[in-house]
Chain A
């Protein structure tokens, strides 16, 4: 009999950092040193993480498998389980199982150009492949990141943009509205490349042969993909990550079933063409 896949492994919170007023980043480590050594994942996969006594939630892994033993999860305080995570401190015990689901096309894009478009906390679901590509610079011709949030208080990973630039990424950040002392781009992330006049925002050239990776709130994914199609990109060449209410992570509890697919095991990464087919 195979291992009981529903039973998590014990893990410890090593580090917590505040990203925004309701988003925190958690670095976790398995308690079992052997498992720490053996466990790996592909960029874009997720884990089921438990706050014992509160429940379990699916969270995508923000860290890259190139950094062994490092498991970073970025969690927004949005429900009862995630609220429990926001009460936790370094040293607290959590349950961890996975990795589950499919991954971003990090193999298919080797030697090619990749452009990531992210919105809000969606960045935490693409930092895995971004960091992976930057850790393997000789494998990727061009890595571009277009990232936007509603305002500067909602941007995540603010301390890393400069580091990513130094590692070779072409990074562009924008806020939907100007607030506080924000002096950067103002406009929707889609305005980087669509034809909307946006005087306070630089225009960015996405290489026409780039593979697109899009992650953010559903409404952002929707309009971003429409604009990418308008700009001439093919639906098969645009990858998106879907969300779904999930319990098991392995296609059994039934919650994330959409069309013939389960977001947890057939996704969460789908091409835009597949996403359109699912929505029928």
Chain B
């Protein structure tokens, strides 16, 4: 089925950003001088779509630190912040990551206990995806089945077709947004051109593997792979903190005068303290045991729990790792039975 699709002149991208601003704060890839990051923008001139942002966009729905409740004078007050936000230029891998996090936080279990903090933020989110014309060094979304084109999970999706953008509608909200910006309809030729761009992008990625079925073979080689690669880990937690699907968090109470604030913040399964039991010590004391946990969770556990790998192939963990431990290498080794 073909979704509704339109074409947008490149010099009219600003018009799209303006109609999106009505929907909430616009977050988009911005060149900060250090790297391209997802940042709040006020105009199209701040947006840089030239490559996938270094940071994952998850902090806009799952903040690094977030207040859960406050207690004062014997009264508990739940705190649940959410914002009308537009994520503009979200890469297909990140769109897939949001879908993955949503399944997890909605709760895939029989007796559902949803996470209101995440879900309320997702509800208020508008997603404008940007299909990738070019892969970066560590990209392997094609092998994970999440890109380079977003198939669902967006309100609008842009594809760069040279002189203009193809704008595809993914939801009723997307259609409403375009109500404020009448555009000419796309032709079959535009759609074919988008597919050709995606094909070229996939071919350039050359991951040399397809991940489907990895859950059936991972047990055979996981211990050796975790030992070989995990042994180089310097325990910085960067892979988890840059991962667009990592959702583990810690909780702490802080005291300000009479006020107690309970906050949650990102945690990392690669850190030794992650499984530290008071009076007992860490459950996973070795680097290899923690790498095994990370790989099994990404490539097997979530596949079993809610039928999705929680690695999207975005390549950020590989890019930021100071020890050059590359996810794509570990997957290749698992599949190769090393």
- Where the two chains meet, the residues of A that have a C-beta atom closer than 8 Å to any C-beta of B are 1-2, 4-10, 50, 52-57, 76, 78-79, 81-82, 93, 95, 218, 243-245, 247-248, 250-255, 257-260, 265, 280
* Residues on the A chain within 8 Å of B113, using CB: 2, 5, 250-252
- Are A82 and B278 neighbours in the complex by a CB distance under 8 Å? yes
Contact of B69 among A6, A82, A243 (CB under 8 A): A6
- Are A4 and B116 neighbours in the complex by a CB distance under 8 Å? yes
CB-nearest residue of chain A relative to B252? A55
Interface of A is mostly: loop
* Residues on the A chain within 8 Å of B78, using CB: 4, 7
Asked if B76 is at the interface of the complex by the 8 Å CB criterion, the answer is: yes
Contact of B76 among A10, A54, A245, A254 (CB under 8 A): A10
Those of B245-277 within 8 Å (CB) of chain A:
247-253, 255, 260, 262, 264, 267, 269, 274-277
Which one of A7, A218, A254 has the highest number of Cβ atoms from chain B below 10 Å of its Cβ? A254
Which 10 A/B pairs are nearest by Cβ-Cβ distance? A79-B278, A254-B248, A78-B279, A78-B278, A250-B113, A53-B260, A247-B251, A53-B255, A52-B260, A52-B71
Q: How far is the CA of A50 from the CA of B269 in the complex (A)?
A: 24
Asked if B171 is at the interface of the complex by the 8 Å CB criterion, the answer is: no
When A2-B114, A52-B260, A53-B253 are in contact, do A257 and B297 touch as well, CB less than 8 Å? yes
Those of B219-264 within 8 Å (CB) of chain A:
219, 247-253, 255, 260, 262, 264
- Are B253 and A245 neighbours in the complex by a CB distance under 8 Å? no
CB-nearest residue of chain B relative to A83? B278
- Are B277 and A244 neighbours in the complex by a CB distance under 8 Å? yes
Asked if B195 is at the interface of the complex by the 8 Å CB criterion, the answer is: no
- Where the two chains meet, the residues of B that have a C-beta atom closer than 8 Å to any C-beta of A are 68-69, 71, 74, 76, 78, 80, 104-105, 107, 109, 112-117, 219, 247-253, 255, 260, 262, 264, 267, 269, 274-280, 283, 293, 296-297, 300-301, 304-305
CB distance from A256 to the nearest CB of B (A): 8
CB distance from B82 to the nearest CB of A (A): 12
CB-nearest residue of chain B relative to A80? B278
Q: How far is the CA of A49 from the CA of B155 in the complex (A)?
A: 42
CB distance from A6 to the nearest CB of B (A): 6
* Residues on the B chain within 8 Å of A5, using CB: 113
Q: How far is the CA of A245 from the CA of B219 in the complex (A)?
A: 25
CB distance from A101 to the nearest CB of B (A): 11
- Are B247 and A252 neighbours in the complex by a CB distance under 8 Å? yes
15 extra interchain contacts, Cβ-Cβ under 8 A, other than A4-B78, A257-B297?
A2-B116, A6-B69, A7-B76, A50-B262, A53-B255, A54-B253, A55-B253, A79-B278, A81-B278, A218-B280, A247-B251, A252-B104, A252-B115, A257-B293, A260-B301
